[in-house]
Amino acid sequence: MNTATRLGAYGAGLALVFGGAFVAADAGVPQSTVSNWTKEAEGHDMNNTTGGHGGHSASASTQASAAVPGVTSAVGGYLLTPVSAPAQAGRTGDLSFRILDAEGQALTSFATSHEKDLHLIVVRTDGTGFRHVHPTMDADGTWSLSWEWAAAGTYRVYTDFVPDVDGAAEPITLTRTVEVGGQVSPATPKATNTATVDGYTVDLTGDAVAGSSSELTFRVSKNGKPVTNLEPYLGAFAHLVALRDGDLAFLHVHPEGDEPTAGDTAGPDVGFVAEMPTPGRYLLYLDFQIDGKVHSAPFVVDTSETDTDPDSGTESGDNHSH
Q: What is the DSSP string of 249-310?
A: -EEEE---SSPP-TT-BB-SEEEEEE--SSSEEEEEEEEEEETTEEEEEEEEEEEBPEEE-T
Mean pLDDT of the region 236-250? 90
Asked whether residue 9 falls in the same domain as residue 24, the answer is no
Mean pLDDT of the region 195-210? 94
Task: Judge whether 125 lies within some domain.
Answer: yes
| Residue 71 belongs to domain with CATH number | 2.60.40.10
Which uninterrupted H or E stretch holds 34? helix 31-41
Handedness of CA 157, 160, 161, 162 (dihedral sign): positive
User: CA 73 to CA 174: how far, in whole Å?
Assistant: 5
Asked whether residue 55 falls in the same domain as residue 96, the answer is yes
Asked whether residue 90 falls in the same domain as residue 150, the answer is yes
Q: Residue 284: its pLDDT value, please?
A: 95
| Residue 232 belongs to domain with CATH number | 2.60.40.1930
108-123 burial code (b ≥16 CB/10 A, e <16): eebeebbebbbbbbbb
Q: Residue 252: its pLDDT value, please?
A: 54
User: CA 180 to CA 200: how far, in whole Å?
Assistant: 30
Query: What residues form DSSP beta bridges with 144?
Result: 96, 136
Handedness of CA 113, 162, 30, 55 (dihedral sign): positive
Among the residue ranges 6-10, 204-208, 255-259, the one predicted with the least confidence is: 6-10
Task: Indicate whether 186 pLDDT > 80.
Answer: yes
Predicted confidence band of residue 253 (pLDDT cuts 50, 70, 90): low
User: CA 166 to CA 185: how far, in whole Å?
Assistant: 46
Q: Residue 236: its pLDDT value, please?
A: 85
Q: Last residue of a domain, which of 163, 180, 197?
A: 180
Q: Last residue of a domain, which of 151, 180, 209?
A: 180
Task: Indicate whether 235 pLDDT > 80.
Answer: yes
| C-beta separation of 76 from 99 below 8 A | no
Chain segment 102-141, per-residue pLDDT in tens: 999 999 999 998 899 999 999 999 999 999 999 999 999 9
Task: Judge whether 322 lies within some domain.
Answer: no
Q: Last residue of a domain, which of 122, 155, 180?
A: 180
Cβ neighbors of 35 (< 8 A, separation 6 or more) are: none
Asked whether residue 210 falls in the same domain as residue 259, the answer is yes
Asked whether residue 234 falls in the same domain as residue 160, the answer is no
Predicted confidence band of residue 194 (pLDDT cuts 50, 70, 90): very high
Query: What residues form DSSP beta bridges with 290?
Result: 293
Q: Which domain holds residue 232?
A: 4-15+189-317
Total domains in the chain come to 2
Query: What residues form DSSP beta bridges with 217?
Result: 205, 271
* One-letter amino acid of 250: F
Chain segment 277-292, per-residue pLDDT in tens: 889 999 999 999 999 9
Chain segment 5-47, per-residue pLDDT in tens: 344 333 333 444 443 333 333 434 444 443 443 343 333 333 4
Task: Indicate whether 154 pLDDT > 90.
Answer: yes
Mean pLDDT of the region 192-200? 97
SS3 of residue 37 by DSSP:
helix
| C-beta separation of 67 from 20 below 8 A | yes
Angle subtended at Cα 83 by Cα 77 and Cα 87, rounded to the nearest 5 degrees: 165
Q: Residue 74: its pLDDT value, please?
A: 96
Tell me the pLDDT of the chain averaged across its residues. Answer: 78
Mean pLDDT of the region 296-312? 73
Predicted confidence band of residue 67 (pLDDT cuts 50, 70, 90): low
SS3 of residue 62 by DSSP:
helix
Q: Give the range with max mean pLDDT: 14-18, 59-63, 266-270.
A: 266-270
SS3 of residue 50 by DSSP:
coil
For the chain, percent of residues with pLDDT exceeding 90: 54
Asked whether residue 26 falls in the same domain as residue 168, the answer is yes
Mean pLDDT of the region 251-258? 58
User: CA 165 to CA 107: how far, in whole Å?
Assistant: 10
Asked whether residue 48 falls in the same domain as residue 33, the answer is yes
- Backbone phi and psi for residue 115, each to the nearest 5 degrees, phi listed first: 75, 5
Mean pLDDT of the region 199-211? 92
